[in-house]
Structure 1
Amino acid sequence: MNRKTAAQLAIGIDIGGTKVAGGLVDETGAVVRRTRRDTPHRSTNARVVEDTIVSVVDELMEFADGQVQAVGVGAAGFVAADRATVVFAPHLSWRHEPLRDRLSRRVSVPVCVDNDANAACWAEWRFGSVQGESHLVMVTLGTGIGGAILTDGQIQRGRFGIAGEFGHMQVMPGGHRCECGNRGCWEQYASGNALVREARSLVLAGSPLAADLATLADGDMTALTGPMITEAARSGDPMAAELLAEIGTWLGTGLANLADAFDPGAFVIGGGVSAAGGLLLDAARDSFRRHLAGRGFRPEARIVHARLGNEAGLIGAADLARKEAVQV
């Protein structure tokens, strides 16, 4: 890698409930080098997560011969308006964690921290499926649900930095307990965790309709994953397809509520569960149209699949960090 190319790079880190993914990202949004680690369990202390991030950064910095403009971190949690502190992360051990300052002591270039869905939204607007859209809402379906709002080229973070946490909207009073502490949150019905929970419950109940799913897991329900269910649906398993359609129905219902709140021109759906494509999004679009207030008399937002896939978060984190570093 020559110095001219390396000098245009930024590092993006995407921290989710199961993985810490990192990449060297150039000015066009292309990822030229990738690496990943498992996310430390939430019971471990914050320093272990920090060490994991630094390990990823060090590996990528070495590959780029140190010629990196900035490091951007997309964190699955509530990030304060100062874009320095992770206030709360349901799937991690962070509580009022001064992540930017801690990382800045160990990384030689500027560090920028943002919510992972904000980063993914920025990436899709800059390089992905919704370039040029003036009013955009992103929903990311992974372990939970993340969200972001972009208006006229600006991420809307809210007064305290926590705007877009759509996954914790209450859609079922008294419903399933959520890791945030409440019950009935949207992500308990329209996320990867919800998909796996429902599949496992069918298998454990001995439903003959879930026999193929039980075979996939070889009898070990802890081994059953969202990608396995999606692949089964693609292969024609009717129960797996029904489970994905149910998740899609919940997704569309929530999007109709968000349309009333934000009136976007497009919803872009990302995250690992969105890899199901039409198996998920067709049901979401149908549900959206059924639940939209004033349906038939108002313009409808497009519901599109994120183009950048699971790398949207790290691409956006890198690009936002590069943008901030240039402005300083």
Structure 2
Amino acid sequence: MKDSTHIKPCKISSEKVGLPVYIPLIEPLNEKFPAPIRVENDCATAVLGEVYFGVGKDTKDKRSLHLAYVTISTGIGGGVWDGGHLLRGKDGNAAEVGHILVKEGGLKCDCGNYGCAEAYCSGTGIVRNARMRLINEDLRPEEGYGSEILKLARERAGSGASEWKLLEALTAPMIFEAAARGDRLAQEVIDEAVHYSGIVLADIANAYDPEIITVGGAMALEHPEILEPMKEEMLKHLNVAPPEVVLTPLGYGAVEYGALVLAREAAEASGIKPSRAEPG
């Protein structure tokens, strides 16, 4: 963290939440709580969890590890551990891989830019993508091309729901369920998400040269079948030796495990001796 006291948010969209670019985080918390406080990006925290409790737990010399973590969930994020160091960047925003440009002039992302990976690969992105395609079909798609998505939306919103309510009722799990039922529109949306996710993995590999990339987040953990086609897409775009790509062994707990590491580091920096065995 810059100056060990704060991080700068990557880009909080003022049109969505009305917040300034820089928000001090640690100072006001220090006024309320006597304990040492650390603030870190969630995916950067998750990669710490991987190093000490996940894929790197049996490696005694953490300086020999080169790994990355990617979450595919409501958003897309990443963290990188390189030779004994967590990559943070000047403002704590290194490895914000959800905002890698994958399609110039593409779909609008919540950050305000267009064509970000998150706009296509995240759970939020695939729902928005499906909505746009259904609107293009005037919400009256042919059988097997969006019809299963709308059936699932009606089950949730109610048979008398308006067209707007149907669109509002859509969720990422519905898209996957519709695809499993043979809905071609749903499958197109998922295929596009997998395609761009593979490009993100390739960009991470080319930029950071990790030996292993672990993948977490609800979409990946609930639908592990997307991992293999993601890897196949990644291999098409590599300029480095291929990294191993696996689901995180920590499941939904990667961030929490990483937070334990941060707490230990903060305690040690303050001269507090941990009462339990250290990780690793």
Q: TM-score range by the shorter chain?
A: 0.7 to 0.9
- Return closer, same or farther for 1:235/1:121 CA change in 2, 3 Å cut-off: farther
Provide the residue aligned with 2:4 in structure 1: 82
Give the match's secondary structure for 1:136.
strand
The gaps in structure 1 that reach 5 residues or longer are 1-78
- Aligned pair partner of 1:110 in 22, 30, 36: 36
Query: Is this contact kept in 1: 2:102–2:196, CA < 8 A?
Result: no
Query: Is this contact kept in 2: 1:166–1:186, CA < 8 A?
Result: yes
- Return closer, same or farther for 1:174/1:154 CA change in 2, 3 Å cut-off: same
What percentage of residue pairs aligned between the two structures are identical?
34
- Return closer, same or farther for 1:254/1:100 CA change in 2, 3 Å cut-off: same
- Aligned pair partner of 2:21 in 79, 95, 102: 95
Provide the residue aligned with 1:122 in structure 2: 48
Provide the residue aligned with 2:86 in structure 1: 155
Alpha-carbon distance in structure 1 between the residues aligned to 2:185 and 2:123: 16
Give the match's secondary structure for 1:172.
coil
The one-letter amino acid of 1:215's match is K
Structure 2 residue 76 is matched with structure 1 residue 141: no
Give the match's secondary structure for 1:137.
strand
Provide the residue aligned with 2:273 in structure 1: none
Structure 1 segments, 4+ long, off by >4 Å, are 231-239
- Return closer, same or farther for 1:313/1:126 CA change in 2, 3 Å cut-off: same
- Aligned pair partner of 2:119 in 185, 188, 201: 188
Query: Is this contact kept in 2: 1:141–1:273, CA < 8 A?
Result: yes
Alpha-carbon distance in structure 1 between the residues aligned to 2:190 and 2:120: 11
The one-letter amino acid of 2:72's match is L
* Residue 114 of structure 1: how far off its partner (Å): 0.4
Structure 2 residue 269 is matched with structure 1 residue 327: yes
Structure 2 length normalisation: TM-score? 0.77
1:135-175: CA deviation from partner (whole Å, max 9, x where unpaired): 11122122322111101232111233221112222222222
- Return closer, same or farther for 1:128/1:233 CA change in 2, 3 Å cut-off: farther
Q: How does 1:11-30 map to 2 (within 5 A)?
A: none
Query: Is this contact kept in 2: 1:130–1:266, CA < 8 A?
Result: no
Provide the residue aligned with 1:215 in structure 2: 151
* Residue 254 of structure 1: how far off its partner (Å): 1.9
Q: How does 1:1-328 map to 2 (within 5 A)?
A: 80=2, 82=4, 84-90=6-12, 93=19, 95-131=21-57, 132=59, 134-204=65-135, 205=137, 206-208=140-142, 209-218=145-154, 220-233=166-179, 239-293=185-239, 299-328=241-270
1:221-248: CA deviation from partner (whole Å, max 9, x where unpaired): 1121123333444566565444323211
Query: Between Structure 1 and Structure 2, whose CA radius of gyration is higher?
Result: 2
Alpha-carbon distance in structure 2 between the residues aligned to 1:258 and 1:283: 17
1:95-154: CA deviation from partner (whole Å, max 9, x where unpaired): 311111112222232211001110111112222245447111122122322111101232
- Return closer, same or farther for 1:127/1:230 CA change in 2, 3 Å cut-off: farther
Alpha-carbon distance in structure 2 between the residues aligned to 1:224 and 1:303: 30
Provide the residue aligned with 1:73 in structure 2: none
Structure 1 length normalisation: TM-score? 0.67
Structure in which a larger fraction of residues adopt strand: 1
Give the match's secondary structure for 2:9.
strand
The gaps in structure 2 that reach 5 residues or longer are 155-162, 271-280
* Residue 262 of structure 1: how far off its partner (Å): 1.4
Alpha-carbon distance in structure 2 between the residues aligned to 1:88 and 1:265: 26
- Return closer, same or farther for 1:123/1:151 CA change in 2, 3 Å cut-off: same
Alpha-carbon distance in structure 2 between the residues aligned to 1:198 and 1:213: 12
Structure in which a larger fraction of residues adopt helix: 2
- Return closer, same or farther for 1:238/1:304 CA change in 2, 3 Å cut-off: farther
1:235-270: CA deviation from partner (whole Å, max 9, x where unpaired): 665654443232111111122122221111011111
Alpha-carbon distance in structure 1 between the residues aligned to 2:3 and 2:120: 29
The one-letter amino acid of 1:225's match is T
